[in-house]
């Protein structure tokens, strides 16, 4: 069996609106899965992180959420450079995963449109939609709440949850990697993790992929 490669990614931004706000950090974790005595678990391959200097000041309310200040991004690369590095990191075969992917894909689409270059053609799937499909009984499907829930169930995730680290891109990506695999493990068989089957299984359990190359 050949297991697929995934990239869990997360953006930090100056606000909530892709048409007027800017990306200030891109984080990503590339991973695959492995069979741990009959249990499918994530296996981290590499990580990517860059701060981004936006063409605007970072509002105080954004800094309160993501703890990224104007001083921190003063010498950071611009978004054009950051996107090129992110595209290379993702590669061509990985399935991209984001929690509330409409938000992250929307910001990426605007950024790539403003700075024309090679677009990643990877499918982007939404772990939030998967969570709502698989665990509809939960009151909250926030990433942190899902991680805490899985942590309380012995053997579900191995990441130690640290609330102080949340809303920094790479840590959130590691959390997403663990939660995403734990979610799907509840519904799909071990053989469904094969590279030829996994995307259809994700679609079946709530998330039709988006493609930056097909967004208007």
Model confidence pLDDT, tens digit, residues 5-57: 999 999 999 999 999 999 999 999 999 999 988 889 999 999 999 999 999 99
Quote the pLDDT of residue 1.
84
Sign of CA dihedral 110, 113, 119, 121: positive
For 140-187, how does the pLDDT look when each residue is reduced to its tens digit (9 = 90+)?
999 989 998 898 887 777 776 666 655 566 888 999 999 999 999 999
Percent above pLDDT 70 for the chain: 95
- Give the end-to-end CA distance of the chain in Å, rounded to a whole number: 36
Would residue 1 count as lying in a domain?
Answer: no
- Residues across the chain: 216
Q: List the structure tokens of 134.
A: 């698989």
For 62-105, how does the pLDDT look when each residue is reduced to its tens digit (9 = 90+)?
999 888 999 999 999 999 999 999 999 999 899 999 999 999 99
3-state DSSP percent of the chain in helix, strand and coil, to 5:
40, 20, 40
Would residue 123 count as lying in a domain?
Answer: yes
**CB atoms inside a 10 Å sphere around CB 93:** 10
Confidence check: pLDDT of 212 > 80? yes
Scanning the structure block, which residue is given the tokens 């590669």? 91
Confidence check: pLDDT of 203 > 80? yes
**What radius of gyration, in Å, describes the C-alpha atoms of the chain?**
17
Would residue 82 count as lying in a domain?
Answer: yes
Domain coverage including residue 187: 6-214
H-helix or E-strand spanning residue 50: strand 39-51
Whole-angstrom Cα distance, residue 3 to residue 184? 14
Please give the residue that has the higher pLDDT: either 41 or 119: 41
Least confident of 103-107, 114-118, 135-139: 114-118
| One-character DSSP codes across 185-199 | HTTS-GGGGBTTTHH
Would residue 166 count as lying in a domain?
Answer: yes
Q: For position 37, which CATH number holds?
A: 3.30.420.10
Q: List the structure tokens of 167.
A: 């809303």
Overall number of domains in the chain:
1
């Amino acid at each position: 069996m050949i297991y697929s490669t995934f990239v869990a990614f997360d953006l930090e931004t100056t606000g909530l609106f892709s048409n007027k706000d800017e990306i200030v950090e891109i984080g990503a974790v590339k991973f695959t899965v492995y069979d741990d005595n009959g249990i499918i678990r994530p296996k981290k391959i590499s990580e990517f992180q860059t701060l981004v200097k936006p063409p605007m000041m970072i509002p105080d309310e954004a800094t309160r959420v993501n703890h990224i200040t104007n001083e921190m991004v003063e010498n950071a690369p611009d978004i054009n450079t950051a996107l090129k590095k992110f595209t290379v990191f993702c590669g061509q075969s990985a399935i991209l995963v984001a929690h509330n992917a409409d938000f992250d894909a929307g910001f990426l689409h605007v950024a790539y449109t403003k700075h024309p270059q090679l677009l990643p053609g990877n499918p982007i799937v939404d772990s939030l939609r998967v969570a709502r499909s698989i665990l509809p009984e939960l009151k909250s499907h926030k990433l942190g709440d899902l991680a805490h829930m899985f942590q309380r169930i012995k053997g579900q995730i191995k990441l130690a949850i640290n609330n102080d680290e949340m809303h920094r891109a790479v840590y959130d990506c590691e959390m997403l990697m663990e939660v995403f695999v734990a979610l799907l493990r509840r519904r799909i068989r071990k053989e469904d993790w094969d590279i030829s089957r996994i995307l259809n299984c994700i679609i079946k359990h709530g998330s039709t992929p988006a493609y930056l190359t097909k967004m208007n």
